[in-house]
């Protein structure tokens, strides 16, 4: 049983101002496996004051000093790799193999990427007599989700450290263990006092306080669009920068060629990864209508190869994170059936033989139309909708017919055609034939958010631009 009853503020583990706790459940067993302290606005105020006090000195550190700190953080992170993987599996149900192969390495990747970019990043630029300077924005508050906990913590913390910002982190109260260990890593790495602070808590209390605090210069939030709107509202009176990575309903356009069965299988595999709990999951697969039968067969075969069960065993898919999520997903699966979509495989209720845990059947619907609920709402579970299209232009139109715009996918043998389709999708990141890149900007159009994370684009989110006129005076004429 884990007990994390202190917060990390100003380089020390401190007691909360008020005593209030929350039990943490293992979603695979429905057993309570830990307890965290829940913070208050008073705890947030202490943490923000520590970050504000640390900012003047930390913001003036050299590139070399920040590189050294990032190097130490990465080294300590690697030491705790096993602890982090165990925590992620326990708190949100990721299979051990996924935790070790993707969940924990993602955080490591962002730390290493930030260090690599920092080595050559240009913080100053001469424009004639004017100097353009990029300066750290100040104190940042980070509100991170439970689905890829370390990825989302590291992709905010790493560039913030690199650019000279100070910060307060609120990890998800649903999956807080990995965030606690991350704070232990920061302490062990000797990050200067007040630069990094952690307060556990819920969204309506700690999240709202971090969003509205007048001494916070920027709030970076990852989560649902609904919650993101509340963050923006809370931040508005203080005119702070708001960075958001929100929901998605990403299209996956499968082109009409010999690769279709392989492309469909890849899309199903991607959809079921992390139990479908990814904001950029390819949830709407678009296939040529005349080949719907072929696509159904390929999708059914791929989905039925997914094994669901104990995340500490050999299962390739674990549970969803909570009963709240399970209930929502079950309701949407039933809605798909009611609205006339063809249930290819999966369906309501738990998989056979799994009586405990928030397990969902890998589910595929076909003959879905874009006006159906399952094609419009973010399900955040292992549920794929297959839609038909008559032409590539229609596929693009359907793909863009959503309030979201986080990601898109194109799969096919003709790279020129795939490139053309990718250019026309209204999304922040489009992947062709399964390509991935941790240095590429990640973020959304429309209601999928504002700003970008990952790589050098993330640095700019944490910087203000200052113009110093007359910095280089013109030489007097002889």
Residues labelled catalytic: 245, 279
Q: Which tokens go with 245? A: 């990575």
The encoded tokens of residue 462 equal 């944490």
In this structure, the strands spanning 2-4 and 31-37 are: parallel
**HEC secondary structure over 283-308:** CEEEEEHHHHHHHHHHHHHHHCCCCE
> Which of 228-239 are b and which e, b meaning 16 or more Cβ less than 10 Å from the residue's Cβ?
bebbeebbeeee
For the beta carbon of residue 162, count every other beta carbon within 10 angstroms.
Answer: 26
Q: State both tokens at 159.
A: 């560039």
Length of the chain, in residues: 478
Per the structure block, which two tokens stand in for 190?
Answer: 């000797």
Q: Do 117 and 102 meet the contact criterion of CB atoms below 8 Å apart? A: no
Asked if residues 360 and 334 have their Cβ atoms less than 8 Å apart, the reply is no
Handedness of CA 428, 273, 266, 456 (dihedral sign): positive
CB contact at 8 A, 153 and 184:
no
Q: What are the tokens at 291?
A: 């080949």
Distance CA(354)–CA(318), nearest Å, equals: 11
DSSP state for residue 274 in the 8-state scheme: G
Neighbouring residues of 337: CB distance < 8 A, sequence distance ≥ 6? 343, 347, 348
Strand order in the sheet with 363-368: 342-345, 363-368, 383-389, 284-288, 251-254, 407-411, 429-432
């Amino acid at each position: 049983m884990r007990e994390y009853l202190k917060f990390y503020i100003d380089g020390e583990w401190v007691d909360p101002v008020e005593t209030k706790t929350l039990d943490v459940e293992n979603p695979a067993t429905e057993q309570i496996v830990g307890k965290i302290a829940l913070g208050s606005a008073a705890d947030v105020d202490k943490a923000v004051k520590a970050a504000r006090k640390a900012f003047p000195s930390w913001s003036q550190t050299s590139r070399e000093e920040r590189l050294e700190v990032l190097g130490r953080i990465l080294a300590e992170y690697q030491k705790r790799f096993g602890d982090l993987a165990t925590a992620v599996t326990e708190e949100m149900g990721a299979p051990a193999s996924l935790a070790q192969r993707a969940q924990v390495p993602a955080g490591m990747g962002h730390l290493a990427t930030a260090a690599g970019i920092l080595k050559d990043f240009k913080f100053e630029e001469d424009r004639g007599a004017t100097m353009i300077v990029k300066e750290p924005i100040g104190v940042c508050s980070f509100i991170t989700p439970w689905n890829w906990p370390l990825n989302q913590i590291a992709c905010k913390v790493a560039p913030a450290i690199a650019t000279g910002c100070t910060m307060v982190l609120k990890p998800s109260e649903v999956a807080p263990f990995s965030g606690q260990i991350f704070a232990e890593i920061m302490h062990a790495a000797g990050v200067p006092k007040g630069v990094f602070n952690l307060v556990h808590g819920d969204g309506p209390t700690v999240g709202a306080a971090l969003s509205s605090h007048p001494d916070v210069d920027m709030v970076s939030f990852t989560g649902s669009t609904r919650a993101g709107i509340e963050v923006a509202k809370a931040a508005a009176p203080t005119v702070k920068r708001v960075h958001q990575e929100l929901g998605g309903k990403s299209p996956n356009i499968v082109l009409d060629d010999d690769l279709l069965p392989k492309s469909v299988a890849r899309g199903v595999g991607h959809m079921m990864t992390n139990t479908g709990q990814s904001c950029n999951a390819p949830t709407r697969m678009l296939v040529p209508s005349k080949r719907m039968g072929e696509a159904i067969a390929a999708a059914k075969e791929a989905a039925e190869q997914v094994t669901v069960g104990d995340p500490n065993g050999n299962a390739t898919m674990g549970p969803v994170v909570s009963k709240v999520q399970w209930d929502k997903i079950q309701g949407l699966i039933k809605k798909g059936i009611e609205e006339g979509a063809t249930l290819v495989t999966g369906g309501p209720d738990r998989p056979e033989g799994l009586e405990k845990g928030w397990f969902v059947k890998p589910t595929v619907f076909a003959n879905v139309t874009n006006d159906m609920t399952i094609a419009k709402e973010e399900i955040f579970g292992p549920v794929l909708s297959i839609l038909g299209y008559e032409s590539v232009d229609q596929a693009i139109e359907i793909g863009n017919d959503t309030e979201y715009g986080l990601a898109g996918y194109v799969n096919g043998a003709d790279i020129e055609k795939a490139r053309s389709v990718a250019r026309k999708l209204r999304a922040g990141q489009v992947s062709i034939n399964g390509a991935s890149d941790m240095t590429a900007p990640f973020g959304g159009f429309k209601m999928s958010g504002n700003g970008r994370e990952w790589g050098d684009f993330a640095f700019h989110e944490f910087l203000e631009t200052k113009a110093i006129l007359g910095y280089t005076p013109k030489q007097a004429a002889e």
